[in-house]
Structure formats: C-alpha cells, structure tokens
Chain A
Amino acid sequence: MAPRNKPAASKGSDLRIFYIILALVAVVGLGTLGARVLGSRAGGAVLEPIELEGIENPRALFEMARPMSKGSPEAPVKLVVFSDYQCPYCAQFASMVNLRLKAEYLDAGKVYLEYYDFPLGGGHKHSFVAARAARCAGDQGRFWEYHDLLFGQQSRWSPEERTPLAQFEEYAGQLGLNTEEFRSCVRSDRHADVVTANRLLGEQLGVTGTPYLLINNKRVTNWGFNDLKRLIDAELGE
C-alpha cells in the first residue's frame, strides 16, 4: 500500500495547490469585472459607438452620418474634417481654423467646413462621449463654441481616468447653456447614432488617423496653414 499511497498524496498536494491558484484567478477575475461594472456607471451616458442597423448599404450610412458645418454652403470650396476631441493635432487644427482660416476664408464665404466626428477609441476613451457632448451643446445652438472649448481645455479633461462628465457640464455652464437640459442629453444615448455613423463613414472613406481632411473631395496630407492656403487658393483659382 505504501508505494501506491505516496503518489496519491502527491497528487492531493498538487490538486490543493491547483485549487488555490484557481481560487486566486477567480477572485482577481470577479474583482476586476465587478470594479469595471461599478466604475462605468456614468449615469446612463453612452460612452462609445453603438450598433447601427442598415449600415451595410453605403448610401444609408451616408445619410445617417451628419456633419456640423460652418461657413456658407454656397462657398466654392468644401473642407471636410474628420476629427477626434482627444487628439492633440486635432486641437491644433481647430485652433488654426479659428485663428487663420475663419476670417480669410470661412467668413468671406470662400470655404464651407463640414466637421465629422471620428472618435478613435482605444486610448482616447472619452472622445466618443465628448463628441456627443458637443452635439448636445449643438442642440442649444452652441456646437462650435463648445467644440472650441473642448479642444481648448483638452489637456485638462482628456487625461482623466473617469469619464469627465462633470467637466463637460461645467463647460456647458460656462457657455450659459441650460445645464439641466445639457446634463440629461449627455447622460443618455442621444447623438450616439450620429457619432457612430460619422465614425463608420470615416472608416469607409479610409480614415485611419485624425485630423483627416478633404478639400473638394481631394485628400489633404499636409495641413499646415501655408499648405492648406495653397490648396484652397488653387481651388478658388487664385
């Protein structure tokens, strides 16, 4: 009996260690999942792209996607932008539009700007809800002001670990929006469909990075002001 009991005892000890490891993995797994579920309660705010029906048809997707626009629709040059609120280069581009393009081209009726959301996701985990927040401000007619504020304050809210809904609501207050209305919009799924459709449209067009620009449907790779000015002037025939 002795020679047979020894391996059995050794197996019992193996099993004991195995069950301890299994229990540790179970505790860590359940703890991590539980923390994620509890930590994600952002008051019902939809924080990322949603599933959309009927998007297999490119035309349906194109109709579902809706840009925000600036300038005259009659302008001879159309500048299309796909942008992400957590992307630092997009913040630089937004600043350049306001400081240099706006007066010379947009206000002069030469350029019409269409802005599409392209929340990159991944490390930019707040960019989807930021895009929704800007559109919630748009519901009260202040999209561009809010857009500028989000990009201007990017370094403050973007690194936050938790969803920065409180900052977004504070910015709405700074712009004099009806904060209750804004709050109920952001803490819901409103505009999640349009922001998702905008991103999917960008994917179909081959957008991989932001800001992604098109001037009269032609891809722009260098978006420094001088490059952009040259391209716009060429389209204007100047």
Chain B
Amino acid sequence: MSRSVPEAVAVAEPEVGRAVLRGRMGIALLSLIGFFIAGYLLLHRMGLVGPLMCGFGDCDTVQLSQWSVFLGIPVPAWGVGGYTALFVVSLLGLQPQFMAARWVSAALFGMAAFAFLFSAYLTALEAFVIRAWCQWCVVSAVLATGIFLFSLAELARLRRR
C-alpha cells in the first residue's frame, strides 16, 4: 500500500532535522540566484546582453583576463553548471523519497565545499593577480560562502550516522 506524502514526510523527519531541511531551502534559493548571475555573465560572454552592468570595480578587466577560462571552459559556464547541480540536488533533497538519502547530503556538502574553494581561488586572483574586482564575481563568492555554511548541516548529519 502506498504512503501518502505527509506520512512519508513524518516518517523521514527523525532522520532529517529541521536545520538540514532549512539548509536545503537556503541552498536552493542561493543557488537559483547564483544561476542567474552566472547566466548573466555567460550571456555577456556570448555577446547577447550588451555591456556588463558594473556598479563597482572593473568587470571588463576581470572578464577579459586569462583567468576567466578554467580548464578550457569559461568560468561563468562553470558557475551555471555548478549552481544548476546544487539547485537540482537541494530540491531533490526536499522531496520525501530522497529526503533521507545519504548521497544527497554527501553531494550537497561536496559540491558546496568545491564551490566555496573555487570562489576563494577566484577572489584571490582578483585581489592579488588581476588586481581588479568584478561585482558579480564578488556577489557569487558571497553566495558560494552562504551555500557552504548551509551545507555544514549536511556534514553534521553525515557524521552522526
């Protein structure tokens, strides 16, 4: 006999605490915002959105630098891919059938940690090598930091089991 959704949520709840679920909501929200920012930078790179809106910093210098490509792929494309993956997995983690899955916690923490370290690397490049700032990159780094902080609840959950 199949269970109704509220029952499934109630059954799964003891394994997945409120902090973890709130964290997944936070990750989904921040990664959606990050997806649009990275998408904007990618569309700009493709010449589809005209000049970059750049309230502070020197976005052109950063976007035209040799570090705007990582392993042959433009950095904004990495951002679009990463934020999409985080968004999809965090939403899956809010569905009753995947809520308690260990791989969801592992994937969210792993991707968030990678995104955080990658953002730290890019921010260090802006500060010490390129010596110019791109406001969108800074916002993206802040989002990646927020996502990483939310994902710490997943790490705690993985350690508990």
Chain A residues with CB under 8 Å of chain B are 4-5, 7-9, 11-12, 14-15, 18, 21-22, 25-26, 29-30, 32-33, 36-37, 39-40, 42, 46-49, 51, 56, 121-123, 125-126, 128, 163, 196, 200, 203
Contacts and interface: CB of A to CB of B under 8 A. Distances in A.
Contacts of A47: 50-51
Interface string B25-63: 100110011011001100100011111101001111100
A11 B9 CA distance: 9
Given A51-B64, A121-B59, A121-B60, A25 B48 contact: no
B13 interface: yes
Contact of A11 (B21, B40, B43): B21
A128 B64 CA distance: 14
Given A25-B29, A42-B50, A51-B64, A122 B36 contact: no
B147 interface: no
Nearest to A124: B51
8 closest cross-chain pairs (CB), A and B: A40-B50, A29-B36, A121-B60, A125-B51, A36-B49, A8-B10, A4-B10, A8-B6
Contacts of A196: 64
Contacts of A7: 10, 13
B60 A25 contact: no
B36 A32 contact: yes
B18 to A, nearest CB: 8
B10 A5 contact: yes
Contacts of A48: 50-52, 60
Contact of B48 (A4, A40, A49): A40
Contacts of B50: 36, 39-40, 42, 47-48, 125, 163
Given A22-B29, A121-B59, A8 B9 contact: yes
Contact of A49 (B9, B49, B60): B60
A160 B47 CA distance: 20
12 contacts: A5-B6, A7-B10, A8-B6, A8-B13, A15-B25, A25-B29, A29-B32, A29-B39, A32-B36, A33-B43, A123-B54, A126-B51
A132 B54 CA distance: 21
A123 B56 CA distance: 9
Contacts of B64: 49, 51, 196, 200
B51 A128 contact: yes
B4 to A, nearest CB: 10
Contacts of B28: 18, 22
Contacts of A200: 64
